[in-house]
Amino acid sequence: MAVALYSRGSMIAAMLLLGLLLATFHVTGANTGVCYGLLGDNLPPPHEVIDLYKRNNIQRMRIYAPAPEVLQALRGSDIELMVGVANEDLHSIGTDMANAYSWVQTNIRSYGNVKFRYIAVGNEINPPAWEADYLLGAMKNIHQAIEEAGLGNQIKVSTPFSFMVLGESYPPSKGSFRPEFRSFINPIIRFLEENGAPFLFNMYPYFSYSGNTQYISLEYALFTSPEVTVQDGQFGYQNIFDAMLDAGYSALEKAGGASLEIVVSETGWPTAGGTATTIENARTYNTNLLRHVKKGTPKRPGKPIETYIFAMFNENNKNPELEKHWGLFYPNKQSVYQIEFSPTN
């Protein structure tokens, strides 16, 4: 996970608070899911995790690799899934179609009663990383295997980018991709357009704020600013989430990808380990996020923003310390903080 002005970075957990109720989500109208990471040695078994999603009405999930025990637990659950292809698999899949067929057979077709929504090929890849040479090839091969399996209308193939792919992001109308990345990213944009797939963005207002506290207010980052903070032509911005997202849309427009929809494939706020990392700030951010994503942005108003909160659990095998504290739940399945959301909010 790369850290840039509007990018993300890492995770961890806070003290156990007795008496907190399970967080309650009603996310149908908000198109909101939760990322389920597995980098902890004390996490509950997958079937208990699926029950926790269902009890809290969390109807979408992102996982970072096709763990068989998770896919098995998802059978018949009706939870819509974004499943990842690991970065280390991109070379083999991108250079050999047989490996793409095998991946799809093993991890998708073998689980016919799992509701796959997206395949996220790699995560936060950009030059000069070696995986960048194989990313588009792997996306094309996975897409072909999905098409030949008759699943092309059901499952879309994309790849999540971090915000560091933007060279300019302020004001949002100036959003553009880094010049040195354009030859890498423009063909991916064409592929997404041709196949009706979304552009996946891992977007972290937390890192924008924590790296620039002299310029960005906490209220602007937490959706609590009482007034417009950034005026950009006809559009006024009261929160940095909208500004980041519209900077992404501006970049896509400049790259010829105006028709693409952005899905926020990760966002969240940590509860410990860094600047302004409190339980109350995390609760405020995610509560306001759940309400806000139904509204669209100034540039694209009225259209719900499909969003995935990072993360379901605090994961104790992550480093540095900040990485351990992004969870909505402790590993004992007790909520870190209560979130109340209803479709009428």
Between CA 43 and CA 276 the distance in angstroms is 26
Nearest to 153 by CA among 104, 123, 116: 116
**Helix (H/G/I), strand (E/B), else coil: 292:** helix
Amino acid at the residue 172: P
124 is annotated as an active-site residue: yes
Active-site option among 80, 266, 306, 323: 266
Structure tokens at 79: 């939870």
Paired sense of beta strands 176-177 and 166-168, if any: antiparallel
82 beta partners: 62, 118
Between CA 55 and CA 79 the distance in angstroms is 12
- Confirm if 162 and 8 have CB atoms less than 8 A apart: yes
64 φ/ψ angles, rounded to the nearest 5 degrees: -95, -10
Residue reference for tokens 């992102």: 62
Nearest to 259 by CA among 186, 319, 189: 189
Q: How many helices (H) and strands (E) does the chain have?
A: 10, 13
Residues 6+ apart with CB under 8 A from 99: 89, 92, 93, 141
Residue reference for tokens 């499952």: 155
Residue reference for tokens 């699926």: 50
Between CA 156 and CA 198 the distance in angstroms is 8
Q: Could you say which DSSP state residue 86 is in?
A: P
Active-site option among 80, 124, 131, 323: 124
227 is annotated as an active-site residue: no
- Would residue 340 be called left, alpha or beta, if left means φ above 0 and alpha means ψ between -120 and 50 degrees? beta
Cis peptide before 311 (omega within 30 of 0): yes
Between CA 306 and CA 283 the distance in angstroms is 19
Q: Which active-site residues does the annotation give?
A: 124, 266
